[in-house]
Amino acid sequence: MKKYDFIKNKSLNKSALLVVLSLFSYGCASEKTSNTGFMISNHQNNFDRFDIHNLDNSLLAGNLTIFDTTKDAFGHFSPSLTLSQQDTFHHGESFFDQSWLVAPNSNMERDGLGPHFNGQSCATCHINDGRGRPPRDGEQMESMLLRISIPGAGDHNQPLPSHIYGDQLQTFAIPNIKPEAQVSISYEDIKGQYTDGEKYNLKKPIYKIFNFNYGEPEKDLLVSPRVANQMSGMGLLEDIAESDILANADPNDRNRDGISGRPNYVWDVEKQKIAMGRFGWKANQPSIRQQVAGAFSGDIGITSTIFPEESYSDIELSKFTQKTNLSGGEPEINNANLSDVVVYSRNLAIPARRDANNPQVMRGERLFNQLSCNTCHTTTFKSQGQVIHPYTDLLLHDMGRDLEDNRPDFLANGKEWRTAPLWTIGLFQTVSGHTNYLHDGRADNITEAILWHGGEANRSRDEFKKLPKFQRDELIKFLNSL
């Protein structure tokens, strides 16, 4: 048995695993091979969804695309990994999937949970490496959280944390420690109508924070709800050349098309310098490594060399009734294990499109471009020697007052959000068991997500509303093929 055979192996322990070697002339991954063309799938009949004679339309990640339409579709490693890198990937996967434990514990590599946290593991929020969602009736908030801050900005334009509750509200705690607070969500119905007379309903979330256990927060507390993003394709996004991203920026709308995307510039903690943000709903993280370390700190309460301080405040510490199991070491995740989780996060592969050559899908794609959706959801970049199709420009855009959170995040104002990548969007239901979209999961489906678009997307949204139903359906069918 290999060292990590006990780990759930999403890429190898598959029934009827099919490795397609005939599509590309690459060999098996080995110690000397750095770029293979393996495409993997759980079931042969997945290929009914693909035209193998015209795969270019399906390969969202070029030769690094994998084939899987099951709930495990987001959990495969990149075909570029060598055998030793695959071992590292699976070791990182174990730290991503398995729950952290209260300290002290005999398993010292995995203790140090909390004392406050939002989830016990990365996988709690990233369901099957996919996207989180708002809680349903009777549920607690498990794959969603609230960012918080007070007005103003720090030395690097970062949000200013609450003096008591920091920059993230943590709604769970270890035994004998009280969580920071509780959150409930209610919804206001927003009614609308298409030009053809068909009516629709949207739901506007209303958040109530109560049972603050360590004192009342600042009266001007700023709150921004966030669901967990999907994990696949992050390494490809990180390796897009900065110059290629900036080529699409138009902060002053010089071409007068109503679109004025701009980059967020944030603080790189390890490099101690300003860097372009790429990850997070407001592009507030410059790298996968910092994103991962930040999630360990804020979401699980696990310290690292990047974020070595525990997430509780001095005020909270003074009110803890017991203080003997607050730390699992310094740091609680060492650099080697953190780096392996980064390898895992960087190398989750992108599955191929389905039905890319279906006539309805192709007509929907034309409508997508005609409505100028591709102005922000940029179709194509180059990364890792591949032509990829992430459908994002990684830039900030004003999305209007309806989606405004009123909370600045480095250069991003309350109305600005990073363009969400659309690749894999059609597999969310299969992988994560829901179709909640947007930063707070308020949209129950892709159509509702489009209808919530405002600001720079006003014109595209209004043109969508003018389409007859059969064309709206074609556009949605295209998006579900991604």
Q: What are the residue ranges spanned by the domains of the chain?
A: 95-235+281-346
- What pLDDT is attached to residue 149? 99
List pLDDT tens digits, range 403-416: 999 999 999 999 99
Whose structure tokens read 């490693």? Answer: 77
pLDDT score for 55: 58
Q: Which two tokens stand for residue 339?
A: 């780096």
> CB–CB of 289/295 below 8 Å?
no
How large is the average pLDDT for residues 209-236? Answer: 98
Task: Name the token pair of 303.
Answer: 């310290």
* Residue 48: band (very low, low, confident or very high) from pLDDT cuts 50, 70, 90: low
pLDDT (0 to 100) of residue 4: 32
pLDDT attached to residue 8: 36
> What is the pairing mode between strands 144-153 and 222-227?
antiparallel
Task: Point out the least confidently predicted range of 48-52, 229-233, 240-244, 473-477.
Answer: 48-52
Q: What's the pLDDT score for residue 41? A: 34
What's the whole-number mean pLDDT along residues 450-479?
A: 99
Provide mean pLDDT across the span 9-25. 35
Q: What is the C-alpha separation between 99 and 83, in angstroms, rounded? A: 26
Quickly state the pLDDT bin for 50 (edges 50, 70, 90).
Answer: low
pLDDT at residue 53 tops 60? no
The pLDDT, as a whole number, for residue 168 is: 98
Return the pLDDT at 54: 52
- Contact criterion met (CB below 8 Å) for 115 and 174: yes
Is residue 422 predicted with pLDDT exceeding 90?
A: yes
Per-residue tokens: 297:
């700190």
CB 264: neighbour CB atoms within 10 A? 24
Helical H segments across 225-382, by residue range: 234-238, 242-246, 288-295, 314-319, 335-346, 359-370
Mean pLDDT of 235-239: 99
In terms of DSSP H, where are the helices of 252-358?
288-295, 314-319, 335-346
Confidence of residue 33 (pLDDT cuts 50, 70, 90): very low
- CB atoms inside a 10 Å sphere around CB 53: 6
Residues comprising the chain, all counted:
482
Three-class secondary structure of residue 17 per DSSP: coil
Q: Residue 24's pLDDT band (boundaries 50, 70, 90)?
A: very low
Give residue-wise pLDDT tens across range 174-210: 999 999 999 999 999 999 999 999 999 999 999 999 9
User: How far is 230 from 396, CA to CA, in rounded Å?
Assistant: 19
Percent of the chain having pLDDT more than 70? 88
Determine phi and psi for 96, rounding to 5 degrees. Answer: -75, -40
| Full-model pTM | 0.90
pLDDT over 90 percentage in the chain: 85
Cβ within 8 Å of residue 271, ≥6 positions away: none
Q: Among 42-51, 108-117, 296-305, 387-396, which is the least confidently predicted range?
A: 42-51
Average pLDDT, the chain: 90
Cis peptide before 115 (omega within 30 of 0): yes
What's the confidence (pLDDT) of residue 49? 58
Question: What angle, rounded to 10 degrees, do the helices at 335-346 and 288-295 form?
Answer: 120
What pLDDT score was predicted for residue 37? 33
